[in-house]
Amino acid sequence: MSKTDWITQEIENLHSAGLYNRIRTIGSPQGAWLTVDGKQVLNFCSNNYLGLANHPALVSAAKKALDEMGVGPAAVRSIAGTMTLHVELEKRLAQFKGVEAAITFQSGFTANLATIPALVGKEDVIFSDRLNHASIIDGARLSGAKIIPYEHNDVKSLEEQIKANQSQYRRALIVTDGVFSMDGDIAPLLDIYEVAKKYDILLMVDDAHGEGVLGKGGRGIVDHFGLHGKVDVEVGTMSKAFGVMGGIVAGNAVIIDWLRQRGRPFLFSSAMTVPDAAACLAAVDILEDSTQLVDKLWDNAKYFKAEMKTLGFNTGVTETPITPVMLGEAPLAQQFSRELFDMGIFAMALGFPTVPQGKARIRVMISAAHSKDDLNKGLEAFKSVGKKLGVI
C-alpha cells in the first residue's frame, strides 16, 4: 500500500463514472476557430464573449506596455507592485461602470477571496444563493462567517432565511452570482436589492459572466438593472468578455478603500502583470467606444438559441449567451461531445461536480467572434449528433 493509492482509486472511480475530465490543449490563439490537440475545430467553449482575447488592439497595447514598462510587477500591490497602469485601469473601470471606485485583483477568484473575508467574520452571517460560484463559496468559508444558503434565485427563500437568522449575528452579507455560469440565468437583482435595503444588509454580486455582456455596452449587471449606487459590491472579471485576466471589485468608495487595506490577495499575492493591465485598458477603450461587439454577441446568441429550440433541444432557463444543452447523464454528454469533436465542433460536456448529478450537459458559449456561417455549422452538427444519439 502506498500513501497515494487512495488517489489512484478515486481517479479510477472518475473514469468508470464517465466523470474524468480529459483536458484538451489549445495550439492557436483564441477565436471562433481553434487548433485543439492538433485539429482545426469550431470553438463553442471559451468565455471569449467579445472576441477580445486575440484582438489586435489588445495585443498591440500589451506589446507597447512591455516595451515601456517591462513584464512583471515584482511585488504585491501594497508594497511596490502598484504601477501607473494599475491605477489608470482602476480609474477607467470606475468611470466605465459608473461607480465611485474600483480595485483590481489577479483574478475574479481572488477578488472573491479578498472581498468576503474583508466584509464579514466569525460573528457574522452570509446569505448565499445555493448555486453560487466556487470562488464565492471559498471566500465565504475563509471568512469564518456562518453561511446560510437560500434557494436559487428565490427571493422569498432569501427573506425567510434573513428573518429566521439575522438577529443572531453582528453583521450580514447577501451574495449572489450575477449570471449563473452553468445555466445562463440572471439573478433577480432588483428584488434582492429591495430585500437587502429592507433589512439593511450589505449586498454583493459577482458578475463575472455579465461583465462586458450585460448592461449598456457591457457595463454589467448593476447597469442592466439600473441599480447604480445601490449595490455595495460588484465583483467582475477581465478573464471572460474582456479577453485577458484580472478581477475587479467596483462600488462604494469606502469598501474599495478598505479592500486596499484588508484584501488579503491584494496584500499577499503579486499584482497583475504589465501586459495584462495594458490589454485590459485597451478592452475598456473598445467597450467605451462602441456597443458593436456586445450587440453582435447578443444577436448571435438569440439566433443560436432559437434555432436549437426549433431543432428540439432543451436549452434550460438561459437568458444570456450561455447555452446549456441539457442531456441528463454524464456518459451521454461526454459521448455527444466526442461525436461533435469528430465533426470538428469543440463543445465541452459538463458533469458532476460542476453541475448536479443527472444534469449533465454540453455548454455552448456563443461569441461575437462567430460568423453566421460558424453558427450554422454548429447547428448542423448538433442536429446530426442529436439524431444519432436519440436526443432529438
Q: Which is nearer to ligand PLP, 65 or 114 (CB)?
A: 114
Is 240 an active-site residue?
A: yes
Q: Which is nearer to ligand PLP, 201 or 235 (CB)?
A: 235
According to the binding rule CB under 6 A, does residue 209 interact with ligand PLP? Answer: yes
Q: Which residues pair with 270 in a beta bridge?
A: 76
Least gap, CB of 5 to ligand PLP (angstroms)? 33
Length of the chain: 392
Q: Which is nearer to ligand PLP, 150 or 341 (CB)?
A: 150
Is 157 an active-site residue?
A: no
Report d(CA 145, CA 227) in Å as an integer.
27
Report d(CA 340, CA 322) in Å as an integer.
18
Is the preceding omega at residue 275 within 30 degrees of 0, hence cis? no
Is 60 an active-site residue?
A: no
Catalytic site residue from 46, 107, 135, 181: 181
Asked if residue 110 lies in contact with residue 269, where contact means CB atoms within 8 angstroms, the answer is yes
Q: Is 318 helix (H, G, I), strand (E, B) or coil?
A: coil
Least gap, CB of 180 to ligand PLP (angstroms)? 8
Site string (167-206) toward ligand PLP, x via CB under 6 A: ----------x---x------------------------x
Site residues for ligand PLP, 85-144, by CB under 6 A, read 107-109, 133, 135
Return the closest-CA partner of residue 46 out of 342, 244, 332, 294: 244
- Cα of 177 vs its chain's centroid, Å: 9
Asked if residue 279 lies in contact with residue 244, where contact means CB atoms within 8 angstroms, the answer is yes
Least gap, CB of 244 to ligand PLP (angstroms)? 9
Return the closest-CA partner of residue 178 out of 212, 141, 143, 229: 212
Catalytic site residue from 55, 97, 133, 240: 240
According to the binding rule CB under 6 A, does residue 30 interact with ligand PLP? Answer: no
Q: Which is nearer to ligand PLP, 177 or 374 (CB)?
A: 177
State the cell numbers at 65: 506596455
Q: Which is nearer to ligand PLP, 340 or 348 (CB)?
A: 348
Among 46, 239, 300, 367, binds ligand PLP (CB under 6 A): 239
* Torsion angle in degrees (nearest 10) through CA of 31, 36, 40, 43: -40
Report d(CA 320, CA 298) in Å as an integer.
8
Q: Which is nearer to ligand PLP, 247 or 275 (CB)?
A: 247
Pairing of strands 101-105, 39-43: unpaired
Among 43, 237, 300, 315, binds ligand PLP (CB under 6 A): 237
Size of the site for ligand PLP (CB under 6 A): 13
According to the binding rule CB under 6 A, does residue 208 interact with ligand PLP? Answer: yes
Q: Is 201 helix (H, G, I), strand (E, B) or coil?
A: coil
Asked if residue 377 lies in contact with residue 302, where contact means CB atoms within 8 angstroms, the answer is no
Site residues for ligand PLP, 34-63, by CB under 6 A, read none
Which residues are annotated as catalytic? Answer: 181, 209, 240
Would you tell me which residues interact with ligand PLP (CB under 6 A)? Answer: 107-109, 133, 135, 177, 181, 206, 208-209, 237, 239, 247
